[in-house]
A = this chain, B = another copy of it.
Amino acid sequence: MELEKILKMLEEREFKELKEELSGMYPVDIAALLEEVDKRQIVLIFRLLAKEEAAETFTYMDSDTREFLINALTDSELEEVMDEMYLDDTVDVLEELPANVVDRLLMATDEETRAQINTLLRYPEDSAGSVMNVDYISFRKEMTVEEAILKIRQVGINRETIYTCYVTEQRKLIGWVDIKDLLTSSESKRIEEIMDTNILYAHTHDDQEDVATMIKKYGLVAIPIVDYEMCIVGIVTVDDAMLVLQDEATEDISMMAGVSPNDESYFGTSVWQHAAHRIPWLLFLMLSATVSGMLLAYYEKSMAAMPILITLIPMLMGTGGNCGSQSSTLMIRGLAVGEIRFKDIFKVIFKEIRIALIVGVVLSVANAIRIYVMYHDIKLGSVIGITIIAIVCMAKVVGCTLPLVAKRLGLDPALMATPLISTLLDTGTILVYFAIVTVMFDI
């Protein structure tokens, strides 16, 4: 509806009304709009935006639209956008663009900014340094509250970045002041009287996920990032932390389904890239599954003697795989949100075994009833019952142990999710199944 209204305005060349309409919209919504309109209209709409709004919209665009726009804008227009953008956003934008476009963008910035950008680009991917904001407010401890408020007025930067201000002494971080304290303290007080010296901070090289988790845990609006000399070099704000946590959850979920993680969106990824992200796991799992196949070949004679055994295989393999993935998934998520740690491993195994016994008994009774109803065979029902209990116990123990062990070894626990666990358990299930039936039926 919004889109139609705007397209109509464009068509009828009501630029003044359109400009007003756009000024009432949020940049994130304008960026979404630009992805929907025709290429040639993108530039038209973009040029109607106020400078600050244009820069913010630019940061929310997908990389296609952004690249198109960069090629369409004049050098001086580009310079204006770059001037208004926050440095951390500029760096995000640059990281996604092809080298020739990056060069053109860097040409549009002044030398000082270029040096800062280069510093930021040098931080490792996924580090706190790579997501931090270099716009923050710092006070000296000798300043009065009045001087501090004056400084905020003069600097006048983005609002997220002023809720907490930092106190430095020769660039070293020595305290912080909440804006509320500034507002409610007498103007003649000195900053050192009202500052809090109990500081939560992170290092430039810390993992961005750990930093985001700290922000969440302590309910912060921003956290200062320091270098190895305790000098403040930037801040990570809560809005960036939310995006980091979302991306990390998406990464975990993809990996848990055997898809290599990918920073791009579903539609932003080409068919070939999608295939490339999915094939390695599938190939590995397909070849691993031949082990289960070879085991089946080994037990061919038993199956020939009792053909009904074959028909139970999908049910047993399915149950083993599902039980295992329930446990491994709970572990992977528990590790990710910091609720479960490696030292809990024995507590976890003991708990999972008890759960497995309850689950196993319920499933095997249900199944014994089904087999009795279908085949009137009590012995088969009880043998399969025992098999199910054994398989569930094996599945739960394997499922809860592997993610914890992976974490301990410094691997990503999400690797030990459904695809790998269920392929492993397929083999285990067949072994347990035939071990039990060959003994019980003497075949």
Contacts and interface: CB of A to CB of B under 8 A. Distances in A.
A216 B239 contact: yes
A246 interface: yes
Contacts of A285: 318-319, 322
B292 A26 contact: no
A401 interface: no
A211 to B, nearest CB: 13
Given A317-B317, A426-B314, A28 B274 contact: no
Interface string A294-317: 101100100110011011111101
Interface in A227-241: 238-239, 241
B221 A358 contact: no
Total copies of this chain within the assembly: 2
A370 B287 contact: yes
A171 interface: no
A279 B363 contact: yes
Most buried by B among A149, A180, A241, A419: A180
Contacts of A387: none
A329 B254 contact: yes
Interface string A265-284: 11100011011001101110
A170 interface: no
Contacts of A344: 267
A269 to B, nearest CB: 9
B367 A286 contact: yes
A69 interface: no
A127 interface: no
A199 to B, nearest CB: 11
Interface string A176-198: 00111011100000000000001
A267 B153 CA distance: 50
A310 B319 contact: no
Interface stretch (A37-45, A100-108, A334-342): A334-342
A79 B209 CA distance: 39
A179 to B, nearest CB: 6
A355 B152 CA distance: 53
Contacts of A367: 286
B271 A358 contact: yes
Interface of A: 24, 26, 28, 149, 152-153, 156, 159-160, 162-163, 178-180, 182-184, 198, 200, 215-221, 238-239, 241-243, 245-246, 249-250, 252-254, 256-259, 265-267, 271-272, 274-275, 278-279, 281-283, 285-287, 289-290, 292-294, 296-297, 300, 303-304, 307-308, 310-315, 317-319, 321-323, 325-326, 328-330, 332-334, 337, 339-340, 344, 347-348, 351, 354-355, 358-359, 362-363, 366-367, 370, 418-419, 422-423, 426, 430
24 contacts: A152-B184, A159-B178, A163-B163, A216-B246, A238-B239, A242-B245, A265-B339, A266-B339, A266-B340, A274-B351, A278-B359, A279-B358, A282-B326, A283-B362, A283-B366, A285-B319, A287-B370, A289-B314, A292-B314, A303-B310, A314-B426, A318-B422, A325-B418, A422-B422
Q: Which 10 A-B pairs have the closest CB atoms?
A: A257-B329, A219-B239, A292-B314, A293-B311, A275-B358, A289-B315, A289-B318, A297-B311, A249-B249, A271-B354
